[in-house]
Amino acid sequence: MRIALFVTCLADTLFPETGRATVRLLERLGHQVEFPAAQTCCGQMHVNTGYLRDALPLVRHYVEVFEDCEAIVVPSGSCTGSIRHQHAMVARRYGDEALARRAEAVAGRTYELSELLVDVLGVEDVGAYYPHRVTYHPTCHSLRLLRAGDRPLRLLRHVAGIDLVELPDADTCCGFGGTFAVKNADTSTAMLADKMRSVLDTQAEVCTAGDSSCLMHIGGGLSRLRAGTRTVHLAEILASQPQTSQPGPPEPHPPGPHTAGQAGAR
């Protein structure tokens, strides 16, 4: 299958290994990945901060870049959620019904990574190997906007060598919420503290999720505390192979190219 990657502006700019891992994984499964170079940002931050008018050009841009693609994969639950639940709404708010319909059509072919793998490609065992103790944070938008359910966990349970441990209070928000983490930093920090306590209670070395933004938040807190637990995107675990998977370093290092095992460290 030809699959277009919408890597998201965050992963493109700050967490490129997430994108690289998505490409490696899908190619290993025998699919063609393309990267429409004109892509930028889905506009979620603008919408969720109330700047819907400023989001409109970004909605239009996403639609124009991706509307000829047969399937689009996004390694982010919240960006997929924004594309699926907000793009048409933004277009309609400013009276562009034609754009709203096009946005709905593109959104219908836009999938979060675990949705693409399980629902579209029909695979749960992706042949990954990841010999680490891992806990999974479901992220609010994957859970409640996309209803991704246990798809990510089904994928993780098939990973060879993994020691998957359940996260207590998993469905509670980590406190990121985009600009919420800045506008309401104290409340966000209190939520983060409880999430980190849950993560650390599992004694996992890795906390994973399907969204770089939530991982940036949880990972930023864990890193500040020198907690000894790192965050790794789901795509990187699913892309891992025996030859690339090594024990990660306890402290974050900037991810470089072709260092799959380590690159998850934030």
Partner 1 sequence: MSAPTFLGLPTAPRGVGHLRGDEPFPVAARRALADTQLRRNLGKATRTIRAKRAAVVGELPDWEELRDAGQAIKAGAMAHLDRYLEQLEEQVTARGGVVHWARDANDANRIVVGLVRATGATEAVKVKSIVTDEIGLNDALAAAGITAHETDLAELIVQLGHDRPSHILVPAIHRNRAEIRDIFLREMGDVDPGLTDSPAALAEAARLHLRRQFLSAKVGISGANFAIAETGTLCVVESEGNGRMCLTLPDTLITVMGIEKILPSWDDLGVFMQLLPRSSTGERMNPYTSMWTGVTPGDGPQQFHLVLLDNGRTAALADRTGRQALHCIRCSACLNVCPVYERVGGHAYGSVYPGPIGAVLSPMLTGVEDNASLPYASSLCGACYDACPVKIDIPSLLVHLRARHVDEVAETRRVPSPEAVTMAAASWVMASPARYEAAQRGGRAGRLLGRGGRIRRLPPPLSAWTSARDAPAPPAQTFRQWWRTEHGDTGHGDTGHGHGEHGETR
The tokens for 96 are: 């562009």
Window of 14-22, 121-129, 202-210, 237-245 that interacts with partner 1 by CB under 8 A: 14-22
> For the residues of 120-150, what is the DSSP string, one character each?
IS--S----B--SEEEE---HIIIIIS--TT
Stretch that binds partner 1, among 101-109, 116-124, 172-180, 202-210 (CB under 8 A): 172-180
User: Which listed residue (11, 167, 239, 260) binds partner 1 by CB under 8 A?
Assistant: 11
Near partner 1 in 101-120, by CB under 8 A: none
Looking at residues 148 to 167 of the shown chain, list those that interact with partner 1 (rule: CB under 8 A). none
What does the block give as tokens for 73? 């994969």
Check residue 33 for interaction with partner 1 (CB under 8 A). yes
25 part of the interface to partner 1, by CB under 8 A: no
In the complex with partner 1, the residue whose CB is nearer, 36 or 131, is 36
38/98 with CB nearer partner 1: 38
DSSP 8-state symbol, 238: H
> Can residue 247 be called a binding residue for partner 1 (CB under 8 A)?
no
Of residues 65-84, those binding partner 1 (CB under 8 A): 65-66, 68-69
Of the candidate spans 44-52, 151-159, 203-211, 237-245, the one that interacts with partner 1 by CB under 8 A turns out to be: 44-52
d(CA 111, CA 96): 24
* x/- track of binding to partner 1 for residues 175-204 (CB under 8 A): xxxxxxxxxxxxxxxxxx-x----------
Q: Name the residue type at position 200.
A: L
Q: Count H helices, E strands: the chain?
A: 15, 8
What interhelical angle do 212-224 and 185-201 show, nearest 10?
Answer: 80
Calpha distance 153→238 (Å, rounded): 11
Of the pair 93, 158, the CB lying nearest partner 1 is at 93
* Interatomic CA distance for residues 197 and 200, integer angstroms: 5
